[in-house]
Amino acid sequence: MAKKVIKKHLVIGGAGFIGSHLSNALLAKGNKVIVIDSVPFKRAEIKAYTIHINDAKKVGRVFKKEKPDVVFHLAGAMSLRKSSQDSLFSKDFDFLYRTAIILDACKKYQVKKIVFVSSGGALYENANIIPTSEEYPVNPNSLYGIANLMMEKYIASYCTHNGIDFTIPRVSNAYGPRQWQTGFIPVAIIKMLKKESPVIYGSGKQTRDFVYIDDVVEALIILAQKSISRKATGNSEISRDKNSIYNIGSGTETSLNEVLMLVKDLLGVKIEVNYKSPSMLETQRSVLDIKKIKKAFGWYPKTNIKKGLLQTIEWYKENEGD
């Protein structure tokens, strides 16, 4: 008898860049999708709750009413540059409190699986092994990286001790349509559409692992369906932790200068780059080793950087000014 496919998914942070694409993709596959976000999410086929994640009572009511099978936790992310300026425990950085609320609700209402979307780039910053695998001993310096690592460890410990299946995908630099104007690629595209000079902090030779949003979403859905046998992985937190982490990236190293050259060629413009002093937090090389997820599930990114940029540019052209 075929294994029953889990059908009810709650996407926390579903109005964001990755979350909105994920919600739409889950719906397209015939799943029931519920969204929680502090920002309104409008799609008739998706039930959305506009509430703050740190409101434990309201979050609990959603879990009680909807009884999701799988929970995607995308509510912990924030801009690397913003978090570098904040206090780790400021009211805007209450990432552990929000995560605790989500985990307690998952336990109380018997959620089958939680998927916490973490950041590969922030955790592996300035790694001395390139490409960087899940086994690399992470030691982030930025507050954003530290926050992600703390959430990873908290989730691994909580879920292991409470018998909740969990997976932690570490996503590299995702890009694509509808991305907020905070990432390097959307900011560069918008500036060049306005005939303005894009900005690079540093020489532009620094590299990143840019992965297209459709590929990211496909991987997240695959990981949501997987189930790890506790007998196979052992009972220790360390064993469960390692076996539940998967890198999601392109596996290709691309410099910021290369990205801008491609964007300029695709737009047919000649615009000078505005080079500024590098940030103290700037990572020089970043690319994820994606062999683990490819070997386990056959997933690999299908959109190369040129195709992804073209599709992203077309979206911004159609939605310029929105």
* Catalytic (active-site) positions: 144
Structure letter (DSSP) for residue 284: S
Structure letter (DSSP) for residue 288: B
Cα–Cα distance, 250 to 262 (Å, whole number): 17
SS3 of 155, please? Answer: helix
How would you classify the pairing of strands 118-119 and 254-255?
unpaired
Cα–Cα distance, 298 to 294 (Å, whole number): 4
Paired tokens of 201: 């902090």
Cα–Cα distance, 147 to 153 (Å, whole number): 10
With contact defined as beta carbons under 8 Å apart, do 183 and 173 qualify? yes
Q: What does the DSSP assignment read for 86-148?
A: S-TTSGGG-HHHHHHHHHHHHHHTT-SEEEE-EEHHHHTTT-SSSSB-TTS-----SHHHHHH
Cα–Cα distance, 309 to 175 (Å, whole number): 8
Closest CA to 273 of 260, 290, 289: 260
SS3 of 254, please? Answer: strand
Q: What type of residue sits at position 175? A: Y
